[in-house]
Structure 1
Amino acid sequence: MRKYEMMVIARPDLDEAGLQALSDKIAELITSNGGTVESQDAWKKQRLAYEIKHLREGFYSVFNFTGEPRTANELNRVLKITDEVVRFLIVRPAE
């Protein structure tokens, strides 16, 4: 199993329930593909460095998880088509 770190920027118009649903969806994707969620930072609203999809703000969260490469590939596939996600990045942290 490899360690991964994923940063997600969600739409700023989501409410608390929407953010929780998105967190649950991401955690379910990780666990259903053989991974485990190590930690997740709380959602924090911040101003974006530049406009993305006509948005100036977004909710940021960082997920640390372990999994196989297929776990990261499936997350990448699903998050690309998830409307609530503005941008995301999955990286393998330095060992």
Structure 2
Amino acid sequence: MHTYELLFILPGTLDDKEVAARSEEVVSLVKEFGSDVELQPIGKNRLAYPIKQIRYGYFFIVVFKAPAPAVKKLEDRLALMRDLLRAMITHFNTGLTATQKIAYSTDSSGVTTMTEKSAEWSEQKAPLVAEAEAVAAAKSPDKELNIEEISKKLDDLISGDFIIPQS
């Protein structure tokens, strides 16, 4: 038996009692085909695009264990449910969720962005970043320019002593 993850979306037009009832229907259906069922409500969010003329939906995740043939039967039964906007079953990757970290950053304009980083990714990229910094430091020698030299060059350019080639 493998561990699977079911993401399903209920219409945002339902009230809280109807949402609870429909989510329990889905959980009981999953229990028919699998075991170790865990329901995790995500909440009400705006959909990226309207589905059946509905713009908001209640998102839920169900993690369960089931044999592979039962998953296909479960997908078929979920497709018959009227109130489900979408349902998607995937393999549950326990390693990914354990090492996943979320980093929030706010830029100068006040926009907050959320990025997900895994520990393995940051460990792999750290030597590359250090190597890139070393190469950049080696390539760019620091030249100190004097303000007098800069002003002299600007004066020469402004006076027109140099001929600019015509293309």
When Rg is computed on C-alpha atoms for both structures, the one with the higher figure is 2
Q: Which residue of 1 aligns with 2:11?
A: 11
Contact 1:30 1:71 in 2 (8 A): no
Structure 1 residue runs without a partner (length 5+): none
Work out the CA distance in 1 between the residues paired with 2:80 and 2:58. 18
Aligned partner of residue 90 in structure 1, secondary structure? strand
Work out the CA distance in 2 between the residues paired with 1:43 and 1:13. 16
Aligned partner of residue 4 in structure 1, secondary structure? strand
Contact 1:40 1:61 in 2 (8 A): yes
Structure 2 residue runs without a partner (length 5+): 95-167
> Counterparts in 2 of 1:1-95, with a 5 A limit?
1-37=1-37, 39-94=38-93
Aligned partner of residue 81 in structure 2, secondary structure? coil
Work out the CA distance in 2 between the residues paired with 1:46 and 1:34. 28
Task: Measure how far apart 1:84 and its partner are.
Answer: 0.9
| TM-score of the two chains, using structure 1 as the length reference | 0.85
Work out the CA distance in 2 between the residues paired with 1:63 and 1:15. 20
| TM-score of the two chains, using structure 2 as the length reference | 0.51
1:23–1:81 Cα change, 3 Å? same
Which one has a larger percent strand, Structure 1 or Structure 2?
1
Task: Measure how far apart 1:43 and its partner are.
Answer: 4.8
Work out the CA distance in 1 between the residues paired with 2:42 and 2:18. 11
Of the two structures, which has the highest relative contact order with CA contacts closer than 8 Å and spacing of 6 or more?
1
How many equivalent pairs are there?
A: 94
Counterpart of 1:22, as a letter, is R
